[in-house]
Amino acid sequence: GAANEVAVPGDPACRKCPNGWRPVVDHSDCESCEPGFVGDGLGAKCLACAPGTYTPREGLTKCTVCPAGMVTKTAGLSFCERCGAGEQAVNQHRECKTCPDGTYADPWGIDCVPCPAEGVNCIDGLLSLKDGFWLGPDADYESTFGPGVIGQLSTAGR
């Protein structure tokens, strides 16, 4: 039979493997493509998902692009990884890159955001307070990185 067909003992007709599956080595049966791989469209072989994409389960026919802020750096992966602190996903979800000085990475690793206020350093993609400054009583960690303004900065006593 063809490269995508299997012969079942006792059955004179060969049958094709469905997309997302491939014949086992001796062509006696079909097996599903493992996570990180998809069918070739013919049921003949499994192809690795390209960097920047993944498949979480076996037997799938299409690779999924990693969500925003996440990457797969190599082919054939079943999950995406979140970029590290101070990094954003670039190159079509294939790599993480440290945000340039003067910016910081949003908490989802999607964008590098301009440094928001005086009294703040943005180095290596991370946000930190300059010496002598601290967040005011109404500020919390989330407000530091949220869509609003940075917490109140004060040079006065706590």
Interval 131-157: pLDDT, tens? 776 666 665 443 443 333 344 444 444
Are residues 107 and 69 part of one domain?
A: no
Are residues 123 and 71 part of one domain?
A: no
The predicted model scores a pTM of: 0.70
Closest CA to 42 of 78, 76, 16: 16
Counting the structural domains of the chain, the total is 2
The answer to whether 46 and 40 are in contact (CB under 8 A) is: yes
Evaluate whether residue 92 is within a structural domain. no
Return d(Cα 156, Cα 119) in angstroms, integer: 13
Q: What range defines the domain where residue 25 resides?
A: 1-82
Return d(Cα 98, Cα 96) in angstroms, integer: 7
pLDDT recorded at residue 63: 97
pLDDT recorded at residue 96: 94
Indicate the SS3 state at residue 144.
helix
Average pLDDT of the segment spanning 92-110: 90
Are residues 57 and 116 part of one domain?
A: no
Are residues 2 and 28 part of one domain?
A: yes
Evaluate whether residue 87 is within a structural domain. no
Q: What is the largest CA-CA distance in the chain?
A: 88
Are residues 105 and 53 part of one domain?
A: no
User: Helix, strand, coil proportions of the chain in percent (round to 5)?
Assistant: 5, 35, 65
Average pLDDT of the segment spanning 46-60: 96
Return d(Cα 108, Cα 84) in angstroms, integer: 10
